Structure 1
Amino acid sequence: MTKYWFNRITLYTSILFLIILSACGNSSENDQVRVAEVTRSIFYAPQYVAISEGIFEKHGIDVELTTTWGGDKTMTTLLSNGADIALVGSETSIYVYAQGTNDPVINFAQLTQTDGTFLVSREKIDHFAWEDLKGSTFLGQRKGGMPQMAGEFVLRNKGINTQDLDLIQNIDFANISSAFASGTGDFVQLFEPTASIFEEQGVGHIVASFGKESGKIPYTVFMAKESYLNKNPDTAKRFTKALYEAQQWVDTHSAEEIATSIEPFFPDTELGLITTVVDRYKSQHSFATNPMLDEEEWNNLQNIMDESGELPKRVDHSKLVDNSYAEDAQK
């Protein structure tokens, strides 16, 4: 009888040990974070570095990355709980707030700090001047999106009004490049690597950078619903720390090293071209070196939106920006 109870106790102890061991194992598993990115672009190099170099994993974050192709679709995905975090232009958070919501979308970590588009001409122009746009057909970005607003901001600063050209803005974001390739427009506003690919193929020629001309703005930012941040503050904190580490990695490594790191995310693009694009963005300081979204940048964003006639209402920096995660990451 004593032996029977001894065996039972030993069995129960073993089971209990396995349960505790299993629980400990589960607690050390990474937090899964679903991220919806507005497009797949070399412009977002620090995000891909954070994944490929294991930086997110190091901070206990398992990123499930989905490309949602367009600001509207990305924000819809976030609002419908199809994603935990969105990587998209800050203007979208203002649009949502202006419509009225009990759960606003909060900008908590900035990724890029300039416009990421380039002006591409169909014909080769040896000495481009912004005046060359007058009377042309210009294939622009979607109305109400940050690329379009930053583009028009630059045009106005160069003395070009939208009435001075035939402006086309009714083509979906994902189809703009194919529309230009098929013959629509004399000029087009494009992200990389499409702009450089077109140049290699002789489809078009890069003549100017909207990023250089528009100045610093919170162009692409990680954002989440306020309810998600309130429920998952530690996850958001570790996510931002990982991002900051990746931003520093990008800032201190060469274009070649960055290109090699992010190459798996662009399987159809040659490494040399990725390197060229990274170097172009790096040289014009498009990659933010920390996740902070300061008030001056926020006001610049709203000024650009206002001048474009797209600002529904001015929103204080404190309403839709939470820099506490970025501040913690830099400690």
Structure 2
Amino acid sequence: MKKQLVATAALLAAAAVALSGCSGSASASSSGGTKKIVIAEPVHGIGYLPLYAAIDEGYFKKQGLDVQTTTLTGGAHVNAVLSGNAWGFIGGIESAAIANAKGAQLEAIGGVVDRANVYWVARKGVKIDPNNLAASLKGLRIAASRHGGSVEIDTLYELQKLGMDPSKDVKIINNDVSGSELSLLKSDQADIAATSDPVLSEGISEGIWGQPIMSLPATLGKFAYSDIVTSKANVKKDPATVKKFDAALAQGMSYVLDNHAGAQKIAEKEFPTMSPSLIQSTLTRTYADKDWDGIGITDAALKVDLTVARQSGLLQDSSNPATAANILDLSYLPKNSN
């Protein structure tokens, strides 16, 4: 299974259309002393709340930055940066490593989600023995999000840890649209879903599945799961913007860590179709699983991410291995960043 990260015409067209609604240049532009920046995201997720808090609480504005997010599915968030249509993306560093193995020059400048926001759930009626997952899962259909995405990568890795061959022992079903695993399990097109919050909480609330049969935040530990990635050219051309961006992002992270009630309000604003109780249950799990832990990225957390991606077979970088030295630039983080 090899992820093709070279942008197709369709993906680039979709990215261009989605980004056309943003004022100014899609990547970064200056107007009246304020620099406009677009961050592409693969989904609009509660895990990204520190970024949203930095926007909603005006921390970026105080730094002279007008940061906007745009949701681009199917890997287009990476392609938007490669094509120059976005200044950066939020997502897995392994996506940058996969692109760099094909000749790109991307690097992470700060962290957001510090553990894998991935959980396995079983459709109601599917019997799972938690003490013998491998035998329980054999022959089942697993909805594992988009091909080459973090959810699939982590799932393939965990299946291998269980001694299973993902290409033979289970059937992987890729679903590009976040949340489509709800309908896949509800309509009996899949037995297991590898999902993330808030979709996890939605499925529990709707009775489609029960509590997770596996929690990857627990099994994988501290993990560079979702980070801010930009091009090395952007950093070299305008390091001052990177420093300002990191300063505001650090404030957004501190806000959600220290102000749970405020985080709830921002989440309700960002996800107006979700009930407050569903948002609260999602945030409760997020805090309990320690998904947020500062904007620093440790070498150990990066190593877990890259190891998982390589062993899953989706990161093939033996000729030019990603390392902390060539894919992280944390020199612009505020002092004492975790």
- Give matches, 1:201-280, under 5 Å: 201-207=206-212, 208-254=214-260, 256-280=261-285
Contact conserved, 2:40 with 2:80, CA < 8 A, in 1?
yes
1:137 to 141, 154, 157: 141
Query: Which consecutive residues of structure 1, in runs of 5 or more, have no partner in the other structure?
Result: 1-25
Contact conserved, 2:108 with 2:327, CA < 8 A, in 1?
yes
Q: Does 1:65 align with 2:69?
A: yes
Q: 2:100 is paired with a residue of what secondary structure?
A: helix
Q: Does 1:324 align with 2:331?
A: yes
Compute the displacement of 1:126 (Å): 8.9
* Alignment partner, residue 59 of structure 2: 55
Q: Deviations over 1:102-129 (max 9, x none)?
A: xx11111111111112212112669744
2:98 to 90, 95, 100: 95
- TM-score after normalising by structure 1: 0.83
Contact conserved, 1:115 with 1:217, CA < 8 A, in 2?
yes
Query: Which consecutive residues of structure 2, in runs of 5 or more, have no partner in the other structure?
Result: 1-29
Contact conserved, 2:182 with 2:208, CA < 8 A, in 1?
no
Deviates more, 1:72-81 or 1:53-62: 53-62
Q: Following the alignment from structure 1 to structure 2, what is the Cα–Cα distance between the partners of residues 90 and 308?
A: 15
* Alignment partner, residue 86 of structure 1: 89
Compute the displacement of 1:261 (Å): 2.1
Overall identity of the aligned pairs, in %: 23
Amino acid at match of 1:155: L
Q: Following the alignment from structure 1 to structure 2, what is the Cα–Cα distance between the partners of residues 170 and 325?
A: 37
* Alignment partner, residue 123 of structure 2: 122
Q: Deviations over 1:197-230 (max 9, x none)?
A: 1111112223232222122221111011111112
Amino acid at match of 1:96: A
Q: 1:144 is paired with a residue of what secondary structure?
A: coil
Compute the displacement of 1:145 (Å): 2.1
Higher helix share: 1
* Alignment partner, residue 306 of structure 1: 310
Q: 2:291 is paired with a residue of what secondary structure?
A: coil
* Alignment partner, residue 113 of structure 2: 112
Amino acid at match of 2:330: N
1:74 to 77, 87, 108: 77
Q: Deviations over 1:67-117 (max 9, x none)?
A: 1123x211111111111111121111111211124xx11111111111112
Contact conserved, 1:258 with 1:275, CA < 8 A, in 2?
no
Q: Following the alignment from structure 1 to structure 2, what is the Cα–Cα distance between the partners of residues 272 and 240?
A: 31
* CA 1:38–1:315: 2 relative to 1, 3 Å: same
Q: 2:77 is paired with a residue of what secondary structure?
A: helix
* CA 1:61–1:83: 2 relative to 1, 3 Å: same
Deviates more, 1:26-35 or 1:177-186: 26-35
Root-mean-square deviation (Å): 2.3
Compute the displacement of 1:324 (Å): 0.5
Q: Following the alignment from structure 1 to structure 2, what is the Cα–Cα distance between the partners of residues 45 and 27?
A: 26
Contact conserved, 1:36 with 1:74, CA < 8 A, in 2?
yes
Q: Following the alignment from structure 1 to structure 2, what is the Cα–Cα distance between the partners of residues 230 and 173?
A: 34
Deviates more, 1:144-153 or 1:175-184: 175-184
Q: Following the alignment from structure 2 to structure 1, what is the Cα–Cα distance between the partners of residues 310 and 204?
A: 33
* Alignment partner, residue 169 of structure 1: 173
Q: 2:285 is paired with a residue of what secondary structure?
A: helix
Contact conserved, 2:141 with 2:173, CA < 8 A, in 1?
no
Contact conserved, 1:120 with 1:204, CA < 8 A, in 2?
yes
Contact conserved, 1:241 with 1:329, CA < 8 A, in 2?
no
Deviates more, 1:307-316 or 1:168-177: 168-177
Contact conserved, 1:154 with 1:214, CA < 8 A, in 2?
no
Contact conserved, 1:150 with 1:214, CA < 8 A, in 2?
no
* Alignment partner, residue 189 of structure 1: 194
Q: 1:36 is paired with a residue of what secondary structure?
A: strand
The number of residue pairs the alignment matches comes to: 301
Compute the displacement of 1:180 (Å): 2.8
Compute the displacement of 1:250 (Å): 1.6
Q: Deviations over 1:36-81 (max 9, x none)?
A: 11110111111111122222222222112111123x2111111111
